[in-house]
Amino acid sequence: MVKLMSDLKSQIIAQLNLQDVKPEEIGDDQPLFVDGLGLDSIDALELIVLLQQEYKIKLSNAEDGPKVFKTVRTMAEYIKAHQAQNA
Amino acid sequence: MNEPVFVAGIGAISAIGNNIAENLNALLSETTGIGKMTGLDSVHRDQLPVAEVKMDHQALASLAGLPEGISRTALLSAVAAREALGSAAIPGFGKLRSGFISANSVGGMDRTEKFFIPFMENNQRGRLRDVVHHECGTVTELVADKLGIKDQVTTISTACSSSANAIFFGARLIRNGLLDVVVAGGADSLTKFTLNGFNTLMILDSALCKPFDENRKGLNLGEGAGYVVLVSEKLAATLDQKPICRLSGYCNANDAYHQTASSPDGTGSFLAMSGALQKSGLNPADISYINLHGTGTQNNDIAEGTAIKRLFDPHYPPMSSTKAYTGHTLGGCGGLEAVYSILAIREGLIYPNLRLETPMKDLPFRVQTRLQRHAAVEHVLSNSFGFGGNCTSLIFSKA
Amino acid sequence: MTPATESYITATTVICRNKVIQNGREILNLPEEDLPGFLLAVYRNLEVQYPKFHKMDLLSKMGWLAAECLLDGSSLNQRVSPQRIGVVLSNANSSLDTDLKYFETTRVMASPALFVYTLPNIVTGEICIRHGFKGENAFFVQEEFDADLMQQYMSQLINNNILQAGICGWVDLLGQQYKTVLFLVEKEARGLAQPFNTANIIKNFTTENG
């Protein structure tokens, strides 16, 4: 889980072009949207692309986005749950 | 305030008809043009309904009187612009100072896509310069040549408000005495590029769109073109036929909020609508009908509705989105919906907002669900809002 | 018609051939950099914090940077209401540079963030978002810069009191070919205080023949 969250932070930075942010600056439970990292609706769509490309997980319902992409931890939990399902 | 600008002719092509008469018939018979994809060759063929013009490329080229090798955007543009100019029947057109102000957002993307398939496999097989029709400007030039217009030809590309902007820019050129007559509007064709792009934004409805419905799921893309012929008061007085109506107000404003999303309170929409009212010297209560931008996305409809509430509460005019008929024609919609607004005045019509089941809970008003004939339509407000925060409202009034 | 000299060019910015020229004075020249590197260097040189800059496509980055330089020290926002400030831009290649890059991503997985920038007027939107400008916007696509059109469109807006100030000009990019020339046009004769006429527009546009 720790490794997954650390990977995710780097992947989020690369996918969303967060050039001025370092992985260690993103807290595991820090909100990603609005007041936290300041991500917006287009970033949410890019995170869907990230999930699909890196983890082969398809989030087809955009309405699940806010729940899944709340924090790095919620993303990691979602990935774990779905990898277990696929295995 | 300034000297008025009159509408002397109109032309349209869309999924509900290849000319004005066919479009009007479909509006009256409440027939939608949205359905299963047949022309566009896409992997989403069975999942995403679209509003295609019911003519293949060959037939369309023949109708437009242009070669088949050129972009569908140009063909649609030529068909509607020529109908508009023909219906205006202006004697001695060649001797007048004329302009063609046209808009589109995809340009010749349909041709570019054909070029790209071999190019993507092997980049030695294509060159960038082969994409000759790609630029939005080329589409306009082709059609201007066809119409014989030379004095002022330009292309506006501001996403989904493009052709509404073309119309008021055309009106300004007349008001300032620079031109006597302007053909203004816009066109866009359906392409895989826009379909896939809107699909990645997750704002396409996999069923028929339901603008201003509580359970709306997104938009359906469409294609088409709409043009108006604008003339000066002086020229209008010399014409045999009475002008259809006049363009009495217009305004453009920027929402300054997000690249694609509208601000929650619809700041840009509010500024555009109130600015157009101010320009026309009318009060909100004078508006007989609003042709909504009403795309069917969560974001647009609540932002537009909130702005309408702020401006019109508590007396709401009838309003509807005709995108439930035509889909969202992007760079063409401002022109197409201007034409429908003008027809509403000419024919005394209030169009229904097709397929509305549940009115939006957060809005205190309801959109029109039934066709109304013989209505006293004096002033129509037409909204067109685009990505990049570009918001435009036009007002057409009885001549 | 109202005379053309009722408004003034109060500032200019040119970005081309790896240079930034502000009000006729070269402020940056980085011949070694490729375009993305050059634009990043210009951003760093401005010493502003705007994380969304890194998410923009190259066309928006270039237009946005030029607007930053153009407005630098103008205190425009303190003097003029944002609803009275507009942006009117033009170019030859629309958003083709980004269209092609977006096309590339569709091979693997289409990028929503890139698709957003496949419209030329997103750059006007980025400038408006940054500075809160809510006035009239337009974007023209044509083969060559049309100084007459710019002059006509902008002075119309200012002379008729629709706007009090505005940014207009050219923001064009395709591959390694690029050129941006922006003008700040105002009712008052401040800054450069050049009469806003076609001759002055052309003079500034051709300062640096890129």
Query: What's the token pair of residue B394?
Result: 């036009």
Question: Does B245-398 match B5-238 at the fold level?
Answer: yes
The pLDDT value given to residue C181: 98
Task: Judge contact between B108 and B192, C-beta under 8 A.
Answer: no
In a domain, C168, yes or no: yes
CB contact under 8 A, A45 and B200: yes
Asked if residue C182 is part of any domain, the answer here is yes
Tell me the C-alpha distance between B177 and B166, whole Å: 17
Question: For residue B112, what pLDDT band results from cuts at 50, 70 and 90?
Answer: confident
pLDDT tens for B141-189 read 999 999 999 899 999 999 999 999 999 999 999 999 999 999 999 999 9
Predicted local confidence at residue C37, as pLDDT: 96
The topology (CATH level 3) of B245-398 is Peroxisomal Thiolase; Chain A, domain 1 (3.40.47)
pLDDT level of residue B134 (50, 70, 90 thresholds): low
B126: pLDDT strictly greater than 90? no
CATH number at residue A67: 1.10.1200.10
pLDDT at B132: 55
> What CA–CA distances, in Å, run from B325 to B31, B328, B352, C8?
7, 9, 10, 47
Query: C29 in a domain, yes or no?
Result: yes
Q: Which of C47, C48, C55 to mutate to test the interface with A (most CBs of A within 10 A)?
A: C55
Domain that holds residue C192: 4-205
Taking CB atoms and an 8 Å cutoff, what residues of chain A touch B260?
A: 41-42
* Superfamily grouping for domain B5-238: Thiolase/Chalcone synthase (3.40.47.10)
Which positions ≥6 away from C47 have C-beta within 8 Å? none
Q: How far is B33 from chain A (nearest CA, A)?
A: 27
- Please provide residue C103's backbone torsions phi and psi, each rounded to the nearest 5 degrees: -55, -40
Among A20, A49, A53, the residue with its CB nearest the CB of C112 is A49
ipTM strictly over 0.90?
yes
Query: Is residue B123 over pLDDT 70?
Result: no
Total structural domains in chain C?
A: 1
The C-alpha of B348 sits at a distance from chain C's nearest C-alpha, in angstroms, of: 32
pLDDT of residue B69: 83
Q: Which of A32, A54, A53 is nearest to A44 (CA)?
A: A32
Per-residue model confidence (pLDDT) at position B138: 80
Mean pLDDT to the nearest integer, B10-37 = 98
Query: Which carries the bigger pLDDT value, residue C67 or residue B67?
Result: C67
Asked if residues C11 and C24 have their Cβ atoms less than 8 Å apart, the reply is no
C112 closest CB neighbour out of B200, B267, B388: B200
Structural domain that includes position A25: 2-86
Q: Is B397 on the interface with C (CB under 8 A)?
A: no
Active site residues of B: 160, 293, 328
C-proximal residues of B, 85-124, CB under 8 Å:
105, 107, 109, 112, 116, 120
Q: Identify the chains in contact with B, defined as 3+ C-beta pairs within 8 A.
A: A, C
- Tell whether C137 is within 8 A of chain B (Cβ): yes
Chain centre to alpha carbon of residue B4: 22
The pLDDT of residue B119 is 65
Task: Quickly list DSSP for B265-322.
Answer: T-HHHHHHHHHHHHHHT--GGG--EEE----S-HHHHHHHHHHHHHHHTT-PPPEE-T
Residue B23 has pLDDT above 80, yes or no: yes
Whether residue C112 and residue A46 make contact (CB cut-off 8 A), yes or no, is yes
* Range picked from A52-56, B28-32, C156-160 for highest mean pLDDT: B28-32
Q: How many Å apart are CA C84 and CA C93, to the nearest integer?
A: 29
- pLDDT number for residue A34: 76
- Res C2: pLDDT: 45
Kindly determine whether residue B259 and residue A42, on different chains, have CB atoms separated by under 8 Å.
Answer: yes
Cβ of C110 within 8 Å of Cβ of B199? The answer is yes
> For residue B1, what pLDDT band results from cuts at 50, 70 and 90?
very low
- DSSP assignment of C18-46 equals TEEEETTEEEEE-TTS-HHHHHHHHHHHH
For chain B, the domains span 5-238, 245-398
Please determine, for residue B27, whether its predicted confidence score (pLDDT) is greater than 70.
Answer: yes
Residue C210 has pLDDT above 70, yes or no: no
- Cα-flanking dihedrals φ and ψ of residue C175, to 5°? 65, -125
Q: Residues B62-71: contacts with CB within 8 Å, 24+ apart?
A: B63/B18, B64/B146, B65/B146, B66/B142, B66/B146, B69/B111, B70/B108, B70/B111, B70/B133, B70/B142, B71/B107, B71/B108, B71/B109, B71/B110, B71/B111, B71/B133, B71/B138, B71/B139, B71/B189
Closest CB to A53: pick one of C51, C55, C109: C109
Contacts of C175 in chain B (CB under 8 A): 128
> Residue C76 belongs to a domain with what CATH number?
3.40.47.10
- Given CB atoms, is B200 within the 8 Å cutoff of chain C? yes
Neighbours of C, requiring at least 3 CB pairs below 8 Å, are: A, B
Domain count along chain A:
1
- Residue contact A46–C113, C-beta within 8 A: yes
Does residue A35 register a pLDDT over 80? no
pLDDT (mean) for A67-84: 92
DSSP state of B261: S
Position B268 pLDDT exceeds 50 = yes
